[in-house]
Amino acid sequence: MSRNDRKDQIIQAALELFRSKGFAEVSTRDLAEHAGLSRSHVYHYFSDWKELRREAFVHFANEQLEAVGGPLRGAAPMDALQGFIRDCLPDCAEDGWALWLDAWDEAMHDAELAETYLKINGQWQAMLAGIIADGVETGVFHCASPQRAARQLFAQTMGYADDLLLRASPEAARAALQEVMEVAGLLLGFEG
């Protein structure tokens, strides 16, 4: 197995455990047993536990970015905006959502993870800003700064997402989507 394949195997095993147990509850021993490796083998590929967590989180976040962004490419701006916001609002207690909160919590005590988390949030906001800029260019949206509007809408959406994680349901997610789209209408000059 190549070095990259082995690292990917370890990252996948770590993500399985992080999703089911949370960042704070997984030990190197848990990971080594789950991956079928020794602890020293894990540290052969990662300098320390923090690096492994960071790389696993980046891998997870990149998968999420692609899962949301892929279907939105080429969509009409209004459809892309609504799709982006809808995909950022949990409608069930799926474990991937909790991983975002775990990473945020761990980032409060890990400066490198905090930088990584903020960079990833920047990528989400850039995707949303691109959707808004496309809408401005085609005359569907009207705003002076797509980047500012994206920051505002993303912050509002993530606030709703945090609350939905505690009591997620399709109905609650639909209601949150409607409310965020109302604010989007005010920010972007369209009727929601």
Q: What is the mean pLDDT of the chain?
A: 94
Q: Which of 72, 158, 65, 157 is nearest to 120 (CA)?
A: 65
pLDDT, residue 92, reads: 87
Segment 25-74, tens digit of pLDDT: 999 999 999 999 999 999 999 999 999 999 999 999 999 999 999 999 99
Position 12 pLDDT exceeds 90: yes
Position 118 pLDDT exceeds 80: yes
Segment 158-182, tens digit of pLDDT: 999 999 988 889 999 999 999 999 9
Q: What is the CATH topology of the domain spanning 49-188?
A: Tetracycline Repressor; domain 2 (1.10.357)
Q: Where in the chain is the domain with CATH 1.10.357.10?
A: 49-188
Q: What is the CATH topology of the domain spanning 1-46?
A: Arc Repressor Mutant, subunit A (1.10.10)
Helices 3-21 and 95-107 cross at an angle (nearest 10°) of: 100
